[in-house]
Amino acid sequence: MYAHFAEEFASELINVRTDTDLDRSLALVSRRLGFDHFALSLELRSGSCEAPGLLLHDYPDEWAKVYLGFDLAGQDPVRRACDKSFIGFAWGTMEELIPLTRGDRQMLAVGRECGIGDGYTVPRHLPGLARGTCTFAVCPDRKLPQCRLAVAEIVGTLALTCALGLDASRREDTVPILSDRQRECVLWVARGKTASETATILGIGTETVIQHLKAARERYQVHCKQSLIVAALFDGLIGFSDIIRWRDRRGGPPAVTRGERA
């Protein structure tokens, strides 16, 4: 019954040229779907100094001031849950995705006091480009329109795709480029190997591995291997499957063998 809303929204996005256009379209479609508020956030890749790349919302002013004023994004359980879900989820099901701490519950309670009750969040992760969320929320005295969540999923995905297009039109691609050998060194370190073990595996000197990792950190402008690994995963230079499946295939870390390759 509500599928035509998604079709109409998709048609509207063809003519979206600015953040204001997208904001107006999201406000309209969220009301038509039975929600009270929306929020769209697009965060640029980890190496950018701009964060978020785009933030649109019509949340109550009181909650916006609290959330932004106290920089609660880093403590937001919804954001953490997004890292554990490939599809949209209702906030009431978050505990199935992540453990909720006392602080998490308190933050959700403050949101309710400020006018934000339950919500449905659509996450999207785009390695090397951005991560984004599109949320549709209702007031504390209302329930989510369950029959429209599937359409909200489609609308949220379309909105994030449009936002990424708007963002790409005003920024340059800044993803660092690693050499093949630098990437190999990062991959083996991500698999838990030391510089010495990586050197043995790749058949090169330990100091050479150290220099490759140092050069990779400099290109990413990070200062430790943990940040380097996270950035490389985010950009798609290495993948979770490169790490997890390798370990599963061997039943745990294997003995180091000279000449073994990724």
Spell out the domain ranges in the chain.
1-169, 180-249
**Cα–Cα distance, 39 to 30 (Å, whole number):** 10
Give me the long-range contacts of 65-73 (CB less than 8 A, separation at least 24): 66/110, 66/114, 72/107
The pLDDT value recorded for residue 215 is 97
pLDDT in tens, 6-54: 888 888 888 899 999 999 999 999 999 999 999 999 987 644 444 458 9
Residues contacting residue 73 through CB under 8 Å, at least 6 positions apart: 67, 79
- Report the CATH number of the 180-249 domain: 1.10.10.10
Indicate the residue type of 248. Answer: D
What pTM was computed for the model? 0.74
When pLDDT is cut at 50, 70 and 90, the band that residue 71 belongs to is confident
| Cα(236)–Cα(165) distance, integer angstroms | 19
CATH topology of domain 1-169: Beta-Lactamase (3.30.450)
Please tell me the least confidently modeled range out of 23-37, 111-125, 174-188, 208-222. 174-188
| CA proximity to 54, closest of 116, 124, 132, 125 | 132
